[in-house]
Amino acid sequence: MQTTGCAAAMPVEAPTEDRNRTAPFPFCGNRFEFRAVGSSQNCSFPIMVCNTIMASGMAALASLIEGGMSHRDAVADMFKQNRHVIFTGNGYSKEWPVEAVKRGLPNLVTTPMAVATWASDKNKALFEAMKVFTPEETDARAEVMYEAYVTTLRVEGETLVHMIDTGIVPACAKDLEKYKGFAKLAGGREALYVGVVEETEKLKNLLAAPHKEHLADEANYLCEQLKPQMEALRALVDRAEGLLEAGLYPFPTYEALLYSHHH
């Protein structure tokens, strides 16, 4: 039972499980919860992967037991081999990635890294052994994931350029116009607004570069070159938003998004 601290309120039943809400894959007493699916991702794909992993693990346990090992010893052996993946601390902390490296766990921080791992020989062997995918089918799905990533990132980059060229830059020009003859009042506006234009040109050049022959190479190029430039440009536009006269900014501001009830 869990008390509320209020004498007028009755205690409520609480589950006995110790759920770590910072974990992407917590164990909750009698079940696992997979809580790391992306907002636009269909659950069926990661569920298929989880079921395949579970089937492979059960097959490994069955082999140990059928070989003469007791149920208890088989489970203990499996736990001993895989205990390094168990973490009960704060999964959002900066210390956890460092600890994960010490444990020999991969830290796939980008989509291209994850897709490359998906198509690894180890995973192909797993899917083939469980009769889920042939190696060719695993490669085909990797190509689809690369293509989706490349298409999405290019569309986002082109959309950012369009928003800046048709909305942000004209607003900056109008704002700067009001400070003619008042250079001291303008502060660093001109340098910042010019910086937005210059960084936008860099983004355009990256988008105009010839496409790579292989989708994996194109995905890595966009991840390593285009995405950082988009983030750098976004940082400048965020600063510009804080200087533009109220009413000139052509898109919803952070203030409007966070405190819409005040507008």
Q: How far apart are CA 42 and CA 49, in angstroms?
A: 12
Same structural domain, 182 and 88: no
Same structural domain, 196 and 85: no
Same structural domain, 171 and 85: no
Q: What is the pLDDT of residues 206-258, one digit of tens each?
A: 999 999 999 999 999 999 999 999 999 999 999 999 999 988 999 988 888 88
Same structural domain, 163 and 237: yes
User: Is 177 within the bounds of a domain?
Assistant: yes
Q: What is the pLDDT of residue 234?
A: 97
User: Is 34 within the bounds of a domain?
Assistant: no
Q: What is the pLDDT of residue 21?
A: 73
Q: What is the pLDDT of residue 43?
A: 86
User: Of 107, 131, 157, which marks where a domain is finished?
Assistant: 107
Q: Which residues contact 262 (CB under 8 A, 6 or more apart)?
A: 255
Q: What is the pLDDT of residue 34?
A: 78
User: Is 103 within the bounds of a domain?
Assistant: yes
Q: How many domains does the chain have?
A: 2
Question: Three-state DSSP class for 110?
Answer: coil
pTM: 0.83
Same structural domain, 151 and 216: yes
Domain of 252, CATH number, reads 1.20.120.1560
Contact 174, 248 (CB under 8 A): yes
Q: Which amino acid, residue 175?
A: D
| Tokens linked to 174 | 């109008």
E-strand ranges in the chain read: none
Same structural domain, 167 and 91: no
Same structural domain, 152 and 212: yes
Same structural domain, 183 and 72: no
User: Is 143 within the bounds of a domain?
Assistant: yes
User: Of 84, 107, 130, which marks where a domain is finished?
Assistant: 107
Phi, then psi, of 31 in degrees rounded to 5: -165, 165
Which of 113, 87, 119 minimizes the C-alpha distance to 102?
87
Residue 195 sits in which domain range? Answer: 139-262
CA distances (Å), origin 230, targets 39, 170, 210, 257: 21, 19, 18, 21
Q: What is the pLDDT of residue 235?
A: 97
Same structural domain, 145 and 83: no
Q: What is the pLDDT of residue 20?
A: 67
| Tokens linked to 76 | 């203990």
Chain centroid to Cα 262, Å, comes to 31
Q: What are the residue ranges in the chain where pLDDT is below 70?
A: 1-2, 14-20, 261-263
Q: Which residues contact 227 (CB under 8 A, 6 or more apart)?
A: 153
Same structural domain, 103 and 143: no
| Tokens linked to 208 | 């105009």
Same structural domain, 152 and 224: yes
